[in-house]
Amino acid sequence: MAGTPPRIFVSAGEPSGDQHGAAVVSALAAQLPGAVIDGFGGPRMAAAGAQVRFPMEGYTAFGFVEILGKIPAHLRLLRTLEAEFRQGRYDLLIVIDYPGFHIRLAEAARRHGVKVLYYIAPQLWAWRPGRARRLAKATDRLAVVLPFEAEFFAGHGIAAEYVGHPLLDRPPLPTRAVSRSALGLAGDARVLGLFPGSRTQEIERLWPPFRQAARNLLESGRCDAVVVAGTAAGSYPGSDGFLLHRGAPETVFSAADAALAKSGTTTLEAALADLPMVVAYRVNPVTSWLARGLITVPWVSLVNLVAGRAVVDELLQHEVKPDALEKRVSPLLDRNDPVTRKQREGLREIRERLGGGGAARRVARLAAELLG
C-alpha cells in the first residue's frame, strides 16, 4: 500500500555479520526513516535499532560436529521466514555473508516476490565460480567489498556494485608512539608482530612455525621484540620472552615494523596500517588436496588479489616452515631495506584501490533503490 513504511529483514547469522549488520541498520534508519527493520542477528544489531527476532546465539557454532548440531535450528528458521515471505510480511531481505544459509534464504525470498540484496557476497571467484548462476537467480543486487568482485560478478550476469570495505569505516589506528607506549616498547625497537589467527585450528597450525621463526630472529639480534596478537582464549605455549597482547589487535598493527600473518582479513588490516608482512596459510592436508583442483585464483591473500599481483610473499601448506618464514620476514624489519620499500609501495596501491569508507551508507542507498 502506498505510503506504508517498508519492512526490511536483515540477516547476519554470526558475530562478524552482526557487526556489519549494525552499521547497515543505522544507515537504513537514516536513509529510510520509519522503515521497520527486523533481523536475525546479535546485540550490536539490536543496539543499532533492529528488532532482533531471532538471536544468533542459538544458531552460531564453531567446529564441524557443533555445526552439524545447529542444522535443524537453521532449517526451522528457514521454514519460518519462508512462510512470512509468502504472507508478504517483508518487502526486502538483506543478507550479510554466511553463504551456506543465506543463499537458501535468498532463494526462499525470491520465490515469493521479496527483493534480495546480498552484502559481502560469497567468494565464488576463489573456488566455486559455477555457483554464480544460482546466486544470480537468488538475488536482485550484490553489494561487494573487494574492488575486483564487481567485474567478476558482472561477467556472470549479476548486478554488483563495489561499496567499499567495512574495514575502511573503523576508527583511525592509534599512532605508533601511542601503541608502543601502551605495550612498553622502545620507540626505536625493531618489532615483529605475530598474527596466527583467531580460530583454534588456525592457531594450532600456525603458532609453532611462527613462534620458532620469531625466536630465531630475536636470538640472532635481527629484531628487538616480538608481540603476539592473541585472542582472549587462545593458547600460545612457549611464548616466553614474547609480549602476548590479548587486547585490540589494532595496537599491534600500529606498533610493529613487520608481521607474520595468517591469510584472511588480517592481511587487509595490515595493508591499511602500512605494515609489511609475510602471509601464511595452512589447512588440513586432506582439505588442501581437495581444494587444489577447485581454487581458481593465483593467490590466497586478499592483498595480492586486490592488487592483481604479488605484493606480499605467500607461504602455503608445507612451505610454512620456520626457516622460510624467518628468511622472508627478516628484511621487512628494516624500514630502509629495498624489499620493505617495494612492498610498502604495493600496500599504498592497495589502499588507493580500496578507496574511502561509507560501505553501510551505500548498502542503504541500494536498499532504497530496490524498494523503489
Mean per-residue pLDDT, 185-205: 94
Q: What is the pLDDT of residue 297?
A: 59
Q: What H or E segment, with its residue span, contains residue 308? A: none
Give per-residue pLDDT as tens, 42-64. Answer: 999 999 999 999 999 876 654 44
52 pairs with which residues across the strands?
Answer: 39
pTM comes to 0.87
Q: What is the pLDDT of residue 290?
A: 47
Tell me the residue type at 300. Answer: V
Q: What is the pLDDT of residue 1?
A: 44
Give the three-state DSSP class for 232.
coil
Angle (CA) 142 147 148, round 5°: 90
Instruction: Kindly write down the DSSP assignment for every residue of 136-173, as one continuous string.
Output: HHH-SEEEESSHHHHHHHHTTT--EEE---GGGGSPPP
Alpha-carbon gap, residue 155 to 158, rounded angstroms: 7
Closest of 294, 323, 44 to residue 166, by C-alpha? 44
Alpha-carbon gap, residue 114 to 99, rounded angstroms: 18
Neighbours of 284 (CB within 10 A): 12
CB 145 within 8 A of CB 165: yes
Q: What is the pLDDT of residue 3?
A: 66
CATH class of the domain defined by 176-354: alpha beta
Give per-residue pLDDT as tens, 275-328. Answer: 999 999 987 665 544 455 545 557 889 999 999 999 999 999 899 999 999 999
Confidence of residue 15 (pLDDT cuts 50, 70, 90): confident
- Order of strands, edge to edge, in the sheet holding 160-162? 51-55, 36-41, 7-11, 92-96, 115-119, 141-144, 160-162
Alpha-carbon gap, residue 27 to 91, rounded angstroms: 17
Closest of 42, 26, 31, 23 to residue 6, by C-alpha? 31
Domain boundaries, the chain: 7-164+357-371, 176-354
Alpha-carbon gap, residue 332 to 217, rounded angstroms: 12
The fold of 7-164+357-371 is: Rossmann fold (3.40.50)
Q: What are phi and psi of 163, to 5 degrees?
A: -105, 0
Alpha-carbon gap, residue 80 to 21, rounded angstroms: 21
Fold match between domain 7-164+357-371 and domain 176-354: yes
Enter the DSSP assignment of 58. G
Q: What are phi and psi of 274, to 5 degrees?
A: 60, 40
